[in-house]
Amino acid sequence: MCGLTGYIQTGVNKSTALNQLDAMLRPIQHRGPDDKGLWFDEQHFVALGHQRLSILDLSPAGHQPMASHCGRFVIVFNGEIYNHLELRKTLEQSNANQPINWRGHSDTETLLACFTEWGIEKTLKACVGMFAIVLWDKQEKTLTLTRDRIGEKPLYYGWQKDTFLFGSELKALKAHPSFNGATNMKAASTFLRLNYIPAPHSIYEGIYKLIPGTYLTLTQSDLKKHNTPDSIVYWSLNQVAHQGQETPFKGSFNDAVEALEALLKNAVQLQAIADVPVGAFLSGGVDSSMITALMKSATTSEVKTFTIGMPDAALDESGHATIIANYLKTHHVNHMIQPNQILDLIPQLSDIWDEPLGDSSQIPTYLLCQLAKQDVTVALSGDGADEFFMGYSQYAALNPLWKTKPLGKLPWDTAFKVLSPLNKYAKSKKVLQKSKLAVNGWRQDTYRDLNQYFMDKYRSSEIPFRQQNGVELQNLNNLLTSASTAAHYDAGIYLPDDILFKVDRAAMAHSLETRAPFLDHRIIEFSYQLPLKYKLECRTGKKVLREVLYKHVPKQIVDKKKMGFSIPLNNWLKTDLREWVENHLDKIPNDSETFNKPMIDQLWKEHLANDHDHAEKLWGISILSDFIT
């Protein structure tokens, strides 16, 4: 796990280039505090910089930027290639007559050898891992940017004036004098609806996130014309979904349990390999308990697990996590969040994530990573299980809602008008609000429309922003059911652009590497082959995954209501965080050209009066205001 950055700027001299590169690395030093590398091609004006967090091969043999043995390629790489030893064996077998003189045992060196032997696309398809890679080809004079299949590792890029910039975080790009920093108002508009910004867009004009599962190659012609070519897909979630429907899993449910367990065991074993201490996040839920149990069975060493406790008992999973930890006999560390930690962290949010993120679970995620870093350098997580094995509670509601869609044609507007006097009673008011939500769900035309309606924090109504039109979301397939389609969209958009973005910044702020075995692409592909009933039955999600877990942990201590990783935001905005949110809202002038201040004031008034829970909206508005003056 590391940080990378660089640029191409015609005419810049070596001294200036390296000084600028050093300035770009400084803001992302936290991503790799163990080593720093600078490289510049004076003939083609290519500057590559790297901050290293040493995980595999702690020696100087893992230093980056790294050149290939043949001298053709120079690479900066962030991530891990879990099967790189297997790739080495394959290379060695095919070059038996000319043995490869490896400098060390880093996966970076393996990547370079693969690119030399196989080219870009074949290498990427052979890799099992998470990565963001920038590769300069001296022979072809091309620059290639690529990103892992599901988007675990970030990579930003774009033209600013006459300079092509790229990097792991926006703060690296912002350190270059060519960076413009104009706000992408359409992206900001979409942020208010989703509380995150979907790829390929960013909060800044002209700067993009590379779409997961793609690579982008700039030729000399592109560089001369300041052109950005279309990215090339080497792995597609849409294609995986299509193939899963075309060639579904034919075995019984028990066969599926056995097959999934084998895949998970392999993924955990691969991801537990490191030359530094490795631990696991443990909430006590199905996902993290599964990873911890398999990690425990894969090693004879002590397994360290970490949990953050919430001050609100309704959201606190720490007690349950301790039960699981005691059963699995892990070295367990639990920390209860204190109010002062929240207040101290809040002012740092915009700097840590350096792009708006309205997911308030960023706070406990950051504190959990801070806790884990005290004992380990790598932590395994359960991210991805909810999206690929139907873990979110809304999935169970979507199919019944779609099947009863004809009910949406009834005169509900008249009914709600007649029943409006009941709004003065708290319980009946909540029932009416939920009823209106269902009715508007019935009125959506497609699975995609239904999913986007529920993703939207404002439920398709006006947002408190002058720019109402947002950016287009990636076009993902409609699958066979509403629930499957919703999970597919979550996997393709919400997972990389909210969950994985959140975890990457929270972990790397503490120089901690996180790994997610559920995101092994072979597990993802297997999940799409499974019939829906193997994942979601009645109102229970992750059915097949639960059965794997029951083989390792007794059912009675893991079956519980899903709580998620959230904070009591509704109440905190009225109490501990009230001053913070009011300061942000007060900064917005009444005649703001970007925000609709009267509408925002009304949202705040209703929230304080307990008329509506606008916590997520107000949190998002406050976060966004740090990026728009």
Residues annotated as catalytic are 2
The sign one gets for the Cα dihedral 548, 504, 388, 195 is positive
**CB 286 within 8 Å of CB 570:** no
Parallel, antiparallel or unpaired: strands 2-8 and 35-41: unpaired
**Half-sphere exposure in the Cβ direction for 326 (13 Å, CA):** 9
Q: Report the distance separating Cα 486 and Cα 390, nearest Å.
A: 9
In the DSSP assignment, the letter for residue 548 is H
Q: Report the distance separating Cα 112 and Cα 123, nearest Å.
A: 9
> How is residue 254 written in tokens?
């028990």
Parallel, antiparallel or unpaired: strands 513-515 and 378-380: parallel
Q: Which helix (H) or strand (E) holds 50?
A: strand 46-52
The sign one gets for the Cα dihedral 313, 315, 316, 320 is positive
Q: Which helix (H) or strand (E) holds 322?
A: helix 318-328
Number of CB atoms found within 10 A of residue 402's CB: 18
**CB 509 within 8 Å of CB 225:** no
Q: What is the DSSP string of 152-206?
A: -S--EEEEETTEEEEESSHHHHHTSTT----B-HHHHHHHHHHSS--TTB-SBTT
Q: Report the distance separating Cα 2 and Cα 530, nearest Å.
A: 35
Residue type for position 486: A
Q: Report the distance separating Cα 191 and Cα 619, nearest Å.
A: 12
Alpha helices in 420-520 (DSSP H): 426-442, 447-455, 482-489, 501-508
**CB 563 within 8 Å of CB 608:** no
Using alpha carbons only, what angle is made at residue 216 by residues 186 and 9, rounded to the nearest 5 degrees? 85
**CB 205 within 8 Å of CB 486:** no
Q: Report the distance separating Cα 346 and Cα 342, nearest Å.
A: 6
> How is residue 215 written in tokens?
């690579």
**CB 35 within 8 Å of CB 57:** no
In the DSSP assignment, the letter for residue 571 is H
Closest by alpha carbon to 396, among 408, 406, 386, 407?
A: 386
The strand pairing partners of 38, in sequence order, are 49
Tokens 């600013």, residue? Answer: 160
The sign one gets for the Cα dihedral 320, 323, 325, 327 is negative
Secondary structure of 528-543 in HEC code, one letter for each residue: HHCCHHHHCECCECCH
Residues 6+ apart with CB under 8 A from 479: 241, 245, 447, 485, 488
